[in-house]
């Protein structure tokens, strides 16, 4: 399977969001990744609804939304109607997580399960048959520019095996460098959220970076 390369638009140049989106699309990215935070579940605030709407109308590629918020069930309908293709929620933030995953599926969207570094597989194992994508956070969520947490590696590898059984894609998010893309792709990880460690703020063109990631 070809790598799913997913730019984290929280790291893009917001002064030129339309241009950034078009250039990334032309560069051949697969999914535009959009982070939303509430200042409670994580100690930061992310993108705004207008940013999501702007990216959604600018591209025909898949767009996901990563809800790093308490009680994400309140916003499933909103983002489904705004055109999110994949909706990620955290089991740590929702007391009725199975119902929320069902709600996402009932809207015809792909179900994303996002796991914090300290969240064990045993906590979510019963949910895995409901998921289309399982995204492992390889930093503590909320801020870009952090260091990759090596202790999540065994969890990633176990989830790759479980993904073959339950038919979900394993994604990784947080300090994903080109070396990590290469290493984790060989281990069976399907998708990579790309931020300042790989694509944004670099001297090379997006197309050059994406081509190198594809071919290594």
Q: What is the pLDDT of residues 126-161, one digit of tens each?
A: 999 999 999 999 998 866 667 999 999 999 999 999
Whole-number pLDDT of residue 143:
67
Q: The whole model's pTM is what? A: 0.96
With a cut of 80, say whether residue 53 has pLDDT above it. Answer: yes
102 vs 106: CA distance, rounded Å: 6
173 vs 66: CA distance, rounded Å: 11
With a cut of 70, say whether residue 65 has pLDDT above it. Answer: yes
* pLDDT band (50, 70, 90) for residue 44: confident
DSSP bridge pairs for 68: 37
Domain positions in the chain: 35-190
Query: Does the annotation count 35 as an active-site position?
Result: yes
171 vs 113: CA distance, rounded Å: 10
Please state which architecture CATH assigns to domain 35-190: Alpha-Beta Barrel (3.20)
Whole-number pLDDT of residue 40:
81
Query: Does the annotation count 161 as an active-site position?
Result: no
Are 90 and 68 within 8 A, CB to CB?
Answer: yes
Of the residues 35, 51, 94, 132, only one is catalytic, namely 35
Of the residues 51, 64, 94, 173, only one is catalytic, namely 173
Whole-number pLDDT of residue 2:
87
Query: Average model confidence (pLDDT) for the chain?
Result: 95
Structural tokens at position 110: 């792909």
CA 58, 60, 61, 67 torsion: positive or negative? positive
The stretch 173-194 carries a mean pLDDT of: 97
Of the candidates 60, 142, 74, 76, the one whose C-alpha atom is nearest the C-alpha of residue 110 is: 76
């Amino acid at each position: 399977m070809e790598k799913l390369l997913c730019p984290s638009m929280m790291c893009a140049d917001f002064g030129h969001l339309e241009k950034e989106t078009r250039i990334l699309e032309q560069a051949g990215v697969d999914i535009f990744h959009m982070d939303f935070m509430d200042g409670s579940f994580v100690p930061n605030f992310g993108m705004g609804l207008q940013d999501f709407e702007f990216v959604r109308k600018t591209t025909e590629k898949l767009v996901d939304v990563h809800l790093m918020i308490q009680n994400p069930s309140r916003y499933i309908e909103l983002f489904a109607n705004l055109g999110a293709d994949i909706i990620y929620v955290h089991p740590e933030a929702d007391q009725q997580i199975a119902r929320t995953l069902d709600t996402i599926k009932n809207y015809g969207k792909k179900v994303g399960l996002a796991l914090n570094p300290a969240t064990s597989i045993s906590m979510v194992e019963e949910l895995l048959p409901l998921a289309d994508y399982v995204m492992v956070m390889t930093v503590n969520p909320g801020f870009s520019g952090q260091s990759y947490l090596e202790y999540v590696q065994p969890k990633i590898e176990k989830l790759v095996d479980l993904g073959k059984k339950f038919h979900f894609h394993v994604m990784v998010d947080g300090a994903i460098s080109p070396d990590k893309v290469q290493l984790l792709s060989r281990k069976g990880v399907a998708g990579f959220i790309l931020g300042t460690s790989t694509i944004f703020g670099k001297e090379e063109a997006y197309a050059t970076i994406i081509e190198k990631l594809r071919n290594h």
